[in-house]
Amino acid sequence: MKLAKRIFLFLAVNFLVVITISLILNLLGVRPYLQAYGIDYTSLALFCLVWGMGGAFISLALSRQMAKWLMGVRIIPANSSDPQMQKLVGMVYRLAEEAGLPAMPEVGVYDAAEVNAFATGPTKKKALVAVSTGLLHRLTPGQLEAVLAHEISHISNGDMVTMTLIQGVVNAFVMFLARVLAYAFSGLGRRDESSSGSVMSYTIMVFVFEILFMILGSLVVAAFSRWREFRADAGGARLAGRDRMIGALEALGASMGIHDERHEKPSFEALKISTRSKSGLLRLFASHPPIEERIARLRNIA
């Protein structure tokens, strides 16, 4: 049942993206970019920009609801009768007020053994902070406060929107460069467009160049993601105290071996406060710096 729900959500979201972007392209009057005389670069640029940015922003707009569906997040009401949940909501609200957020984020819990938390949402006014039951059971109140302060800092810094902008720009550049180079190297512009050989070469080259450039682009996205984690750690230290933030990271590092495959969603891994460390060249593609490096940075803060 859960698998069927995930497949349905995946198809529904992608259908929504295709329909929405197609309507935007029609409203902008974007024509086919491959013309008899060559490439219409204006149409190609608009096509890539709309598809690259559009998909990223639609995902951002749906991020809060998708987190509830895919991660099984239960929203905790402010007037919850559960004392532990009351403390959790109160802690988030207090930190959000200290951080100067324009509205209180939703607070949620998801059932998972992993010791983790994440924040998402399209704007500072419509954000969600969610923690795992594993985190609630294993961290001390001070460590929990530091984790929540880290997530509140992500919202305060506008990291979700900035990440979406960077991903959207990368997507647009990847699409644009792949098509321009494929057109140049396939010989499509030097032959009859109806030639099946040149069309096939162009299609294959677009696919190959997109993979290559997406790999290179992911290096940029991952580098920003690591930098924002350092910044959120510093923000968490300011809100909850440096020692508490260091203690929270140490606890997360000690619990790194606890996994829950049900909640290991690639689309949400970059949002969580910690992920598994990568080694060698793979570190360049990691969304999070190693825990030890994050702790060392905090210790160097005056």
Single-letter residue type at 195: S
User: How many C-beta atoms surround the C-beta of residue 77 within 10 A?
Assistant: 12
What span, in angstroms and rounded, lies between the C-alpha atoms of 177 and 161? 24
C-alpha span between 128 and 142 (Å, rounded): 21
Q: Which residue has the tokens 């690259």?
A: 52
- DSSP-derived secondary structure for 71-94: H-PEEPPTT-S-HHHHHHHHHHHH
Catalytic (active site) residue 269: no
Pick the catalytic residue from 151, 229, 264, 293. 151
Residue 207 corresponds to which amino acid? F
With beta carbons less than 8 A apart as the criterion, state whether 174 and 208 touch.
no
Token pair belonging to 113 = 């053994």
Using alpha carbons, select from 163, 164, 274 the residue that is nearest to residue 224. 163
- Residue 100 in tokens: 């100067």
Phi and psi at residue 293, in whole multiples of 5°? -70, -40
Residues pairing with 35 in the sheet: 38
Catalytic residues: 151
